[in-house]
Amino acid sequence: MRLVDVYLYRKEQDKVKHLIFKRASDVIYARQWRMIGGKLKQEETAYEAALRELKEETGLKPVLFWTIPSVNSFYEYQTDSMYHVPVFAAKIPNKIPSLNHEHTQYKWISSDEIKQYIVWPEQQRLMHLLTSIIQNDQIIEEWIVKK
C-alpha cells in the first residue's frame, strides 16, 4: 500500500500554527487527532495524491506546497508491513476547512501543543521538523512542488 501524509500550517506573527483534524469514530485511527493522509490511486504520484487528499478532506488549496525532507516510517503488525510514507507541507490561508466524513473537528495548534494532541511519535517529530524549517526560513527551491 502506498500512502502520503500532508501537514497543514500557517504562520501567525512569528509562530507556526498546525491544522489538525479529529478522526470520525467509524474510520481508521478513530477519534485520534491527526494530519491529512491517504492512499495513492493507480498511476498517481505521491504529490498528486497529497493534493487530492487535501482537497477531498478539507476543501482547501495551499498557497505553498512542498516536500518535507523526511519520511514517516512505521510498522503495522496486522499485515507485517513496513511503511515509508512521503511527507508534504501545505501552507494554507486562514480559511475554515470543509470537513468530509473522515473528520468531526479541526483545531489550530501551536508547536508547544503537538504532544498534547498527536500520539504518534513520528508525526510529532515531523511537525516539529516542519516548524523548525519554517521558523528558520529554510525551505529550499528543490522541495517546492510547482505542479
Q: Please report the pLDDT score of residue 94 as a whole number.
A: 85
pLDDT digits (tens, 9 = 90+) for 40-93: 999 999 999 999 999 999 999 999 999 999 999 999 999 999 999 999 999 999
Report the candidate in 69, 88, 92 with the shortest Cα–Cα distance to residue 11.
92
pLDDT digits (tens, 9 = 90+) for 12-30: 888 999 999 999 999 989 9
What CA–CA distance (Å, rounded) separates 51 from 54? Answer: 5
Pick one of 3.90.79.10, 1.10.3720.10, 3.40.50.10320, 1.10.10.10 as the CATH number of 3-143: 3.90.79.10
Quick one: pLDDT band at residue 147, thresholds 50, 70, 90? Answer: confident
Can you give the residue ranges of every domain in the chain? Answer: 3-143
Residues 109-137: what's their mean pLDDT?
97
User: Which DSSP symbol is given to 52?
Assistant: H
Phi, psi of 39 (to 5 degrees): -100, 145
Sign of CA dihedral 83, 108, 16, 6: positive
Place of cell 495513492: 40
Residues 2-8: what's their mean pLDDT?
96
Average pLDDT, the chain: 95
- Cross-strand bridge partners of residue 107: 20
What CA–CA distance (Å, rounded) separates 92 from 60? Answer: 7
pLDDT digits (tens, 9 = 90+) for 30-51: 999 999 999 999 999 999 999 9
- Cross-strand bridge partners of residue 86: 71
- Cross-strand bridge partners of residue 103: 23
- Asked whether residue 4 carries a pLDDT value surpassing 90, the answer given is yes
Distances (CA, A) of 36 to 56, 77, 79, 146: 10, 22, 22, 20
Residue 73's identity, in one-letter code, is S
